[in-house]
A and B are shown apart, each in its own frame.
Chain A
Amino acid sequence: MNYMILLPVVLPVIVGFALLFLHEGVFRDRRGLLKVTGVSFAVSAALALYVISGAAGDRLILFRLVDDIPVYFAVDDLGRLFAGVVVAVFLLAGFFSFVYMSHEKNEKRYYSFYLITFGVLMGLCFAGNLVTLYLFYEFMTLASMPLVIHNGSKEAVMAALKYLFYSFCGAYMALFGIYFLYRYAIVFENPGDALNGTHYYEIAHMMGFVPGGSLDMAAVVESGNATLCLVAVFLMLVGFGVKAGCFPLQAWLPTAHPVAPAPASAFLSGIIVKGGILAIIRTVYYCVGVDFLRGTWVQTVWCILAVITLLMGSSLAFKEKILKKRLAYSTVSNLSYILLGLSMMNAAAFTGSLLHVVFHALIKSGLFLFAGALIFGTGRVKVKEFAGLGKKMPVLFWSYTICSLGLIGIPPTSGVISKWYLAEGCLESGIAGLSWIGPVALLASALLTAGYLLPLAVNGFLKAPLDEEALDKYREPAPCMLVPVVVLAAATLLLGVFPTPLMEFVGGIAAALK
């Protein structure tokens, strides 16, 4: 048994809980706390990389929950991709928070839940069947909730409640689907495929993740429940879509993300929402199988929902005045790029979606960290208040500009690649109407993105500041905060210029699905 797979899941959780319960006095001062958390961040990330590298083996049945539903971990390429992104953002945002959190209370609690969330996310990435995925999905909601509620204000509590209710509603819609699909799970009898000489696959009904689907669709059709099955899948899509901010259950996202401390917002907006995306990919591509869904009403409705969310998110972001909220709305619209791509159910769109997962995670966390650095340095929150600051903080604002270009999709930044694939996938899909509405919506949304992101950069560099005298106080943020933003901006640029390795990797995943 490859119990090593558990390490990056369990260790951060244990350390997190230990931190939570240890008395403040154990760490003599803030430095002591930072040292401990820094080391545990690094160790957790290293362990995660160790598992991602595949050295820890790739399968593990931990124990059986009931009869033939095991808690099962499997490391595949999709999991590796997501885990890699998580590790990158986790480290950078964690590094950033060492300075940022100095002006927040309850720092210890923040780090402990940050660590726990990381562990849970690793579990989510490496989950090998739908029930394990659901387990970590629920834990993810619970573990990330304290991050939202962190400052304890009434607004934060209400946001956290909203977050919880939406998430639970979604999770139970998904659970409903899982219950229903459970009995159609294929009984695997494929000992030849088993690695290490053990017969992991010989488990009935486990709803494991197999490229192309692991449900016995013949049985579904035979039992005459095909319509009901589609309903169940649709519910799962909407349910998991809650986390991914998909219309009609997206309202929590713009409320919950901005109230968290900036590094937590980056983590929430960049990573946690991708948990929903991962769950949808696992459901549609690895459990149900696209062949069953292609051409049904589920696909059409899904596309329409994605397009609606896409335009709505962008327009709301365009209207929003507060920077962090604007970024949160932008998350809504960008996630629906991904969902739109997934709903097309062809290789090109799928590749585009996965690429956009990576790019959006990096860019959006970069943007939120930028917002955090600005708020930390100036105490301002509204977009127009940042006018003229670019002259004082050139590095920070240049990084922001690059990230923005990435999100809009202007070469040579990374965003253009994913959008290219998405548009191509839409055109290829051949769904009546949507095959051209999709690209049009993408284009419109890109324009809106430019509209809501670029003015900040332009005004920052060119416009006169609101109050000249205050300007002298401001300078570039501390290196601890600046470096993560710069790194993320550099990554946006680099992945745009040299996308080939990543594209090959993602292409491999997409190819395996066929």
Chain B
Amino acid sequence: MEFIRNFPFFSILLSLGSGVLTSIMNRKVARFWNTFVLLAVTVMSAVLFVYMLGVGEPYTFMMGHFPAPWGNEIRAGVLEAGMALFFCIVMLLSMKGGEEHIDREIEDTKANLYYIMINLLLSSLLALIYTNDLFTAYVFVEINTISACGLIMIRQSGRTIEAATRYMIMSSLGSGLLLMGLCVLYDITGHLLMSNIKQSIAYVYTQGIYNIPLVASIGMICVGLAIKSALYPFHTWLPDAYGYSTVSSAAILSSLVSKGYIFLLIKIFFRVVGFDIIVDSKIVNILFVFGLLGMIMGSVNAIMENDIRRMVAFSSVAQIGYIYMGLGLGTTFGIVASIFHVLSHASTKSLLFVAAAGLTDASGGSKRFEDLTGSGYRNPMAGIAFTMGACSMVGIPLFSGFISKLLFAEAAVQNSLSKMLPTLICLAISTVLNAIYFMKTVIRLYTPKSRNVKKTEAGEAAIVSFREHPLYNFTLILMIALNVLLGCCSQPIADWIISGINMFG
């Protein structure tokens, strides 16, 4: 069984290596290889996850020949393995769901570049999940950013390039802060490995000499990662990036890339700084306030949007607000709720993006609401999938969104009054706002189109039959299943998250 412990390393290396390999492949081979890599990593993560559940103890894996505190380390616990598994599944589903669009929208010569980016992204996500070394984390944060930028601009248009530029600017601000924070932290503690930093910080904090720089560095790290994960008001790049890139990119960006940073932040909370110190330093309160703002403002922006993809993108802003609100509650329950919401949002948002793509296909490629009227009839599967996703976002019971809201509320009522009331009120307001724009869209999808159909640029709206796109429809079914699974069997998942957080300890 010792062999299984190599799996995190294998999966990072496999995806990183195949990124390089893909550059000499043509489209078909690259696609095949990419699917293979994703599947292989999924299987490895699944095996590791089951193994970790059995073992019940985290382990560290020495990279190279130097033991801690000098060498580089990978660390895997049950939460890391589970996250890796989940990220792989969502990525695989998003890739498969958008495959036709990738074929259609990306030039032949650039197709393998796309798969390179996906492989790099996967490797950096895995590394962010598994690494036990802060500087490695920084390097992979950058790799993540660069490959995400590639994903945005692979579909060449003014909008995507502009979005990519905005994304790069915001991300550079974030990574600059992150790097500076790490350097100061390194300066204070003299370590780069998370476990060692934590010991030093615990010591330094009790001494009380370096508290101001310590809090400043933690603050810089938090703000840096918050900027990178598009917390309101740092979200300006997001709607364009998600709205105009190819479907798979949008799905992966919204459901995984920002979540990778959030997971890193949670890891830093628990593994680097120690949760007590984080709560004590009041930094969580800042995250809390911005999280609440994001919840409301994201939804308000989404309501005013007239483009389905951008609407879903703005809803991501709101959902990221939820996650930061959970982190900001400053309790373990809040973190559990946030992690659950990471899962729930990842599965729902990818579903929504992929379904929206099917709907726009059935409406002559237009994303505007007027043209989408009645598209639920023209592409039935996408219509159902979008409705399901919308139900989950609105928080209808039995879908994953309800459970995460429930967990947030549960976490909130255990808090003091000053945090409980704003949380519950914002939760209620934001849910109603969610309901407004998602239900408005669903009704539009199922409103029969009036006789004088406006011809769109790409031609007449076409009926998309179920049989023509077996892969697309199959993917949608799997995504719905994943969502309902999260909504119905949430208890084991919540238990798993709690045990994972305990393993962080």
Contacts and interface: CB of A to CB of B under 8 A. Distances in A.
A66 B413 contact: no
Interface stretch (A46-54, A170-178, A337-345): A170-178
B29 interface: no
Contact of A135 (B397, B412, B427, B491): B397
B14 interface: no
Contacts of B395: 172, 175
A76 to B, nearest CB: 22
A375 interface: no
Interface stretch (B120-128, B233-241, B253-261, B439-447): B439-447
Contacts of B398: 135
A134 B396 CA distance: 9
A157 B369 CA distance: 15
B397 A66 contact: no
Contacts of A146: 446
Given A161-B443, A176-B424, A183 B403 contact: no
B157 interface: no
Contact of B443 (A66, A157, A175): A157
- Judged by DSSP, the binding face of A is helix
B443 A160 contact: yes
B435 interface: yes
Contact of A168 (B403, B405, B432): B432
Instruction: Classify chain B: how many residues form its interface, as a range.
Output: 20 to 34
Among A63, A173, A175, A176, max chain B CB count under 10 A is at A175
Interface string A114-131: 000000000000000001
A149 B398 CA distance: 24
Contacts of B412: 179
Contacts of A165: 432, 435-436, 439
A508 interface: no
A466 to B, nearest CB: 34
Interface in A39-68: 63-67
A142 interface: yes
B490 interface: yes
B440 A161 contact: yes
Among A161, A164, A168, A183, max chain B CB count under 10 A is at A168
Contacts of B447: 149, 152, 157
Contacts of A180: 413, 424
A165 B434 CA distance: 10
Contacts of B448: 152
A169 B396 contact: no
B490 A65 contact: yes
Contacts of B413: 179-180, 182-183
A69 B412 CA distance: 17
Contacts of A182: 409-410, 413
A66 B424 contact: no
Nearest to B444: A157
Contacts of B428: 172-173, 175-176
A149 B405 CA distance: 29
A63 B396 contact: no
Interface string A203-218: 0000000000000000
A142 B436 contact: no
Contacts of B425: 176
Among B397, B427, B446, max chain A CB count under 10 A is at B397
Nearest to B434: A168
A309 B275 CA distance: 52
Contacts of B409: 175, 179, 182
Contact of B397 (A134, A179, A183): A134
Interface in B417-431: 417, 424-425, 427-428, 431
Contact of A67 (B435, B439, B446, B494): B494
Interface string A167-200: 0110011011001101100000000000000000
A169 B432 contact: yes
A197 B173 CA distance: 64
A183 B410 CA distance: 8
Contacts of B435: 164-165, 168-169, 172
Given A152-B448, A157-B443, A160-B443, A67 B424 contact: no
Interface of A: 63-67, 69, 131, 134-135, 138-139, 142, 146, 149, 152, 157, 160-161, 164-165, 168-169, 172-173, 175-176, 179-180, 182-183, 228
The 3 tightest CB contacts between A and B, nearest first, are A179-B409, A135-B397, A168-B435
21 contacts: A65-B397, A65-B403, A65-B491, A66-B406, A66-B494, A69-B406, A138-B396, A142-B396, A160-B443, A161-B439, A164-B435, A165-B432, A165-B436, A168-B394, A168-B439, A169-B432, A172-B428, A175-B409, A182-B410, A183-B414, A228-B417
Interface of B: 391, 394-398, 403, 405-407, 409-410, 412-414, 417, 424-425, 427-428, 431-432, 435-436, 439-440, 443, 446-448, 488, 490-491, 494
Given A179-B410, A179-B424, A182-B413, 9 more contacts: A66-B490, A66-B494, A139-B396, A142-B391, A164-B435, A164-B443, A168-B432, A169-B435, A179-B409
